[in-house]
Amino acid sequence: MNTLEKMETFIVLAECSSFTEAAKRLYCSQPTISHHIQQLEQQFSSQLFFRSGKQVELTKQGEVLLQYAKQITHLVDEASIQLKRVSQQEQVLSVYVSNYIAGYYFSDILNQFHTISPQRPLEINSYCYSDLIRCFQEGRTQYALMPIYPEDDYIRKNFETSVLFEEELLLVLPADHSCANRRLLYARDLQNETVLLPKSEYLQQYVMEHLESRQVKARFLQMSNFEMIKQAVKSHHGIAFLPHGAVKEEIRRGELVYKPISSIQIKRQNGFVFRKNAKLTQEDRVFCQNVEHYLRSV
């Protein structure tokens, strides 16, 4: 009989103060309970209970052991829970992806992956760019599907990148904007416009540098995400440069209009960012290959 089982007997007996009741709770005989307690008393060279007929009461030594016995059984239970959790995590493919790609491209990606690996559970962790960087720093993931900015020193020094697609940031206007019927705009047409920007410091930098290099004086306002910016543009709060994937449906429905600008073309890369020397599982590689095949054809 191992020590842990004897500890469990000891705890039950301490709680009910009765050999008879302890035997009932543990579905064993009273002699078995007595034998377990005797073994513990011999092991620790201490009397653990005062006996008075069928009732028992903890000694001071027994009170000390009870505290440790409860800690031991709690740790064993906690270990069991953590081991089960790890086993479940090993079966789940955990993917980290930017909010943009998750929101506008992942539906088709997930459908394709389910066709290839229908039994494989997939956990999607969607974050903004800065939070994905934090996930890397905290060691939560070895790779992510996200925007790739060559200006980011942390990524350039510590990671390898695989560009899967590059897209233009389109100038979008309300459908009834004064320039909506023009085929081509010029930088001067954006003078004194309110330009809505996302939180991404790199996208802000791209837009502002392009406009300032052409002496465009505009008012810049920051908003939380692409969805909020689209709603603000529709409501005539400004114009915006947004990725094609984020606005293609609104353009198709005529809710927003896209206008090319002579001599201004702003692009952003998207793809995988891998920690250098990262060891990916077979499931990770299959997923990445599936995503690459889809996004390179977008």
Three-class HEC string of 109-159: HHHHHHHHCCCCCEEEEEECHHHHHHHHHCCCCCEEEEEECCCCHHHHHHE
Question: pLDDT grade, residue 94 (50/70/90)?
Answer: confident
pLDDT (0 to 100) of residue 86: 63
The answer as to whether 102 is a domain residue is no
The answer as to whether 110 is a domain residue is no
Residues 270 and 129 in one domain: yes
Last residue of a domain, one of 41, 67, 89: 89
pLDDT beyond 60 at 88: no
The answer as to whether 297 is a domain residue is no
pLDDT (0 to 100) of residue 171: 97
Residues 68 and 216 in one domain: no
Compute the average pLDDT of residues 164-186. 95
Residue 269 and residue 145 in contact, taking contact as beta carbons nearer than 8 Å: no
Residue 148 and residue 206 in contact, taking contact as beta carbons nearer than 8 Å: no
The answer as to whether 160 is a domain residue is yes
**What type of residue is 120?**
R
Pseudo-torsion of CA 127, 131, 133, 134, nearest 10°?
-130
Residues 62 and 198 in one domain: no
Compute the average pLDDT of residues 1-22. 89
Residue 85 and residue 278 in contact, taking contact as beta carbons nearer than 8 Å: no
- Give the predicted TM-score (pTM) of the model: 0.67
φ/ψ of residue 270, rounded to 5? -135, 145
pLDDT (0 to 100) of residue 298: 66
Residues 85 and 130 in one domain: no
The per-residue DSSP string of 76-95 comes to HHHHHHHHHHHHHHHHSEEE
3-class DSSP assignment, residue 36: helix
Q: Which residues contact 279 (CB under 8 A, 6 or more apart)?
A: 142
pLDDT (0 to 100) of residue 186: 96
CATH code: domain of residue 205: 3.40.190.290
Compute the average pLDDT of residues 254-262. 96
Which one has a higher pLDDT value, 287 or 267? 267
- In the chain, pLDDT over 70 holds for what percent of residues? 94
Question: How far is it, in rounded angstroms, from Cα 61 to Cα 73?
Answer: 18
DSSP summary character for residue 74: H
Compute the average pLDDT of residues 181-196. 96
- pLDDT per residue as tens digits for the range 27-43: 999 999 999 999 999 99
Domain holding 19, by residue range, is: 3-89
CATH code: domain of residue 14: 1.10.10.10
Question: pLDDT grade, residue 49 (50/70/90)?
Answer: very high
φ/ψ of residue 28, rounded to 5? -145, 180
pLDDT (0 to 100) of residue 65: 94
pLDDT (0 to 100) of residue 179: 94
Find the range with the poorest average confidence among 4-18, 28-42, 108-122, 130-144: 108-122
Compute the average pLDDT of residues 133-148. 95
Which one has a higher pLDDT value, 271 or 282? 271
Owner of token pair 């890369």: 269
Q: How many domains does the chain contain in total?
A: 2
